[in-house]
C-alpha cells in the first residue's frame, strides 16, 4: 500500500487487544536496550573536549532520535493520537553545525532524559501489563499440559520444571482467572499510562508546537504566494496567446472589410464572417478562462450543485454524496471544488476506472472530502503532478491530503479543510467571491 500523508498525519494504527501484551513485552525489552543509548550519549558529551565525543555523538544522537521516533509511532497506537516529533530546527549544513544545531535543540535532551525514565517506569508498566496476561494464560492452560503415562505416573511438562501435581495445577485455574480479570481491567491502562508518560517527554512542548506551527504557516504562505503568482502568469499567458490574439485578428479583419466594402462586397462579407467566428472563439476562450478562475456554477448553485455538475462530465459513473449543513465560505468552496476536479481529472487520465465516488461531509469543524475510484491504483504525490497541486492548494487553508492507492486499486484521496460551523452560510451566496 502506498500512503502519502501531508500536513496533518493519518491516525495511528491501533493495536488489537490480543496483541497488546506481546507489544508490551517487546517495549519492556527495548526499554532496557535504551539504557545503552543513554550511557553512550552521556559519556560522549565530556569526550567532546578531546574530540572523541564528536564522532560518537554524530552516531549516537541520530540513533536516539530513531529510537525515540519508533516509540512515538508505537505508543501513538495506544493513545489514538499521533505523538508529533518536536524537533524545532532543521539541521544546518556542515557536520559541526549540524551537531551544534542538534545539541542546542531541547528536544534532543528530552529524548535522552526519556531513555532513563523509560528504562525504569516504562519498563515496569510494560512488563507488568505483559506478565499479568502471560501469567493468566499459563495458569489457565497448565492443567491441560499434565497427563498420565501408561504406567499410571503423572508426567509433568517442561521437564518437571514446575513441580505441581494435577490437583494443585487445577487449583491454580481460579488464580489464572483472577489474573486475566486484572489484566482485562488494567492491562491497557498501564500501556496508556506509559504512552502518556512518553508523550510528555517525546511530544512537543507548547513553545515547540508554536515554533512548528509558525514554520508550517511560513511554508504554507510561501507556497500560496508561488501558486498565486503562477496562476496570474497562466491567466496573463492565456489572455495574451488566446483572446488578445483573436481580438487583434478581429480588429484587422474589420479594418480590411471596411476598406473593401465599397469595391469588393463579397470579400468584405467573407472578412466579416471570419471576424464573427473570431469573436465567437474569443468569447468562448474568455468564458473558459473565467470558469478556471471561479466557475459560474459554483457561484450560482454552490458546492453541492457544482460537484454534481462536475460528476456529470466524467466519462464513467460517479456517485456523489453531499452532507454539509449550509454553505461553506466562498474561498473554501473554491478550494474544495478545484481539489475534487483535479482528483477526478487524475482518475480519468491515469486510473482506467469504471466507477468513482465523491463524499463530502462536515464534522469536527472540518470539511471532509473523499474522492475514490476503482482503477489500477499506484497513485503518488510527485512534484509538478496533479495531486501535488491539490496539496499546495489545500495547504493555503491549513488543509490536509492523504492518498491511499495500493497497486491494483482502488484509489482513495482524502482531503480535509478547516470550516467552522459558524462560517457555514444558510442562505445562498451571490456573486463570485
Tens of pLDDT, residues 259-306: 777 777 777 777 777 777 777 777 776 666 665 566 677 777 888 888
Q: Which residue has the higher pLDDT, 7 or 425?
A: 425
428 dihedral zone (left: phi>0; alpha: psi -120 to 50; beta)? beta
Q: Report all structural domains of the chain as residue ranges with CATH numbers, in order of start.
A: 9-202 (no CATH), 219-293 (1.20.5), 297-423 (3.30.565.10)
Q: What pLDDT is stored for residue 303 in this prediction?
A: 87
Alpha-carbon separation of residue 229 from 47, 234, 236, 309 (angstroms):
52, 9, 11, 29
DSSP 358: E
End-to-end CA distance of the chain: 40
pLDDT band, residue 27 (cuts 50/70/90): very high
Using CA atoms, how far apart are residues 60 and 306, in angstroms rounded to an integer?
Answer: 55
Q: What pLDDT is stored for residue 121 in this prediction?
A: 93
Collapsing DSSP to helix, strand or coil, 307 comes out as helix
Q: What pLDDT is stored for residue 406 in this prediction?
A: 87
pLDDT in tens, 376-388: 888 888 777 778 7
Q: Which residue has the higher pLDDT, 65 or 243?
A: 65
DSSP 376: -
Q: What pLDDT is stored for residue 234 in this prediction?
A: 66
CB 46 within 8 A of CB 53: yes
Using CA atoms, how far apart are residues 327 and 341, in angstroms rounded to an integer?
Answer: 19
pLDDT band, residue 429 (cuts 50/70/90): very low
List, in sequence order, every residue forming a beta bridge with 370; answer none if it has no partner.
359, 414
Inform me whether the pLDDT recorded for 338 exceeds 80. yes
CB 326 within 8 A of CB 426: yes
CB 346 within 8 A of CB 376: no
What cell was used for 366?
Answer: 472540518
Using CA atoms, how far apart are residues 104 and 96, in angstroms rounded to an integer?
Answer: 12
Q: What pLDDT is stored for residue 223 in this prediction?
A: 65
The structure's pTM equals 0.55
- 177 CB-near residues (< 8 Å, 6+ apart): 136, 140
13-25 CB burial, b ≥16 within 10 A, e <16: eebeeeebbebbb
Amino acid at each position: 500500500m502506498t500512503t502519502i500523508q501531508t500536513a496533518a498525519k493519518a491516525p495511528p494504527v491501533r493495536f488489537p487487544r490480543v496483541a497488546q501484551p506481546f507489544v508490551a513485552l517487546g517495549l519492556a525489552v527495548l526499554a532496557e536496550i535504551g539504557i545503552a543509548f543513554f550511557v553512550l550519549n552521556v559519556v560522549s558529551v565530556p569526550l567532546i573536549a578531546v574530540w572523541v565525543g564528536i564522532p560518537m555523538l554524530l552516531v549516537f544522537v541520530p540513533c536516539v532520535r530513531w529510537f525515540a521516533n519508533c516509540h512515538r509511532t508505537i505508543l501513538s497506537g495506544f493513545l489514538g493520537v499521533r505523538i508529533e516529533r518536536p524537533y524545532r530546527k532543521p539541521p544546518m549544513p556542515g557536520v559541526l553545525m549540524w551537531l551544534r544545531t542538534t545539541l542546542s535543540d531541547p528536544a534532543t535532551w528530552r529524548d535522552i532524559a526519556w531513555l532513563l525514565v523509560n528504562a525504569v517506569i516504562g519498563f515496569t508498566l510494560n512488563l507488568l501489563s505483559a506478565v499479568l496476561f502471560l501469567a493468566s494464560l499459563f495458569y489457565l492452560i497448565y492443567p491441560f499440559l499434565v497427563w498420565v503415562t501408561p504406567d499410571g505416573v503423572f508426567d509433568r511438562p517442561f521437564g518437571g520444571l514446575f513441580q505441581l501435581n494435577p490437583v494443585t495445577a487445577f487449583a491454580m485455574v481460579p488464580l489464572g482467572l483472577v489474573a486475566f480479570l486484572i489484566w482485562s481491567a488494567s492491562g491497557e491502562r498501564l500501556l496508556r499510562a506509559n504512552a502518556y508518560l512518553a508523550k510528555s517527554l517525546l511530544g512537543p512542548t507548547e513553545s515547540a508546537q508554536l515554533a512548528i506551527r509558525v514554520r508550517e504557516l511560513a511554508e504554507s504562505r510561501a507556497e500560496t504566494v508561488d501558486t498565486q503568482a503562477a496562476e496570474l502568469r497562466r491567466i496573463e499567458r492565456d489572455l495574451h496567446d488566446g483572446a488578445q490574439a483573436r481580438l487583434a485578428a478581429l480588429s484587422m479583419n474589420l479594418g480590411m472589410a471596411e476598406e473593401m466594402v465599397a469595391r469588393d462586397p463579397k470579400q468584405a462579407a467573407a472578412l466579416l464572417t471570419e471576424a464573427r467566428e473570431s469573436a465567437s472563439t474569443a468569447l468562448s476562450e474568455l468564458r473558459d478562462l473565467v470558469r478556471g478562475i471561479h466557475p459560474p456554477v459554483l457561484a450560482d448553485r454552490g458546492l453541492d450543485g457544482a460537484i454534481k455538475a462536475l460528476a456529470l462530465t466524467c466519462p464513467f459513473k460517479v456517485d456523489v454524496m453531499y452532507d454539509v449543513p449550509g454553505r461553506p465560505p466562498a474561498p473554501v468552496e473554491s478550494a474544495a471544488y478545484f481539489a475534487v476536479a483535479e482528483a477526478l481529472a487524475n482518475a480519468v487520465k491515469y486510473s482506467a476506472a469504471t466507477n468513482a465516488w465523491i463524499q463530502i461531509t462536515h464534522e469536527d469543524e472540518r470539511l471532509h472530502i473523499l474522492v475514490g475510484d476503482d482503477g489500477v491504483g499506484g497513485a503518488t504525490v510527485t512534484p509538478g503532478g496533479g495531486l501535488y497541486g491539490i496539496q499546495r492548494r489545500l495547504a493555503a487553508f491549513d488543509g490536509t491530503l492523504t492518498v491511499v492507492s495500493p497497486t491494483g486499486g482502488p484509489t482513495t484521496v482524502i482531503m480535509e479543510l478547516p470550516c467552522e460551523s459558524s462560517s457555514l452560510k444558510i442562505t445562498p451566496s451571490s456573486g463570485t467571491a
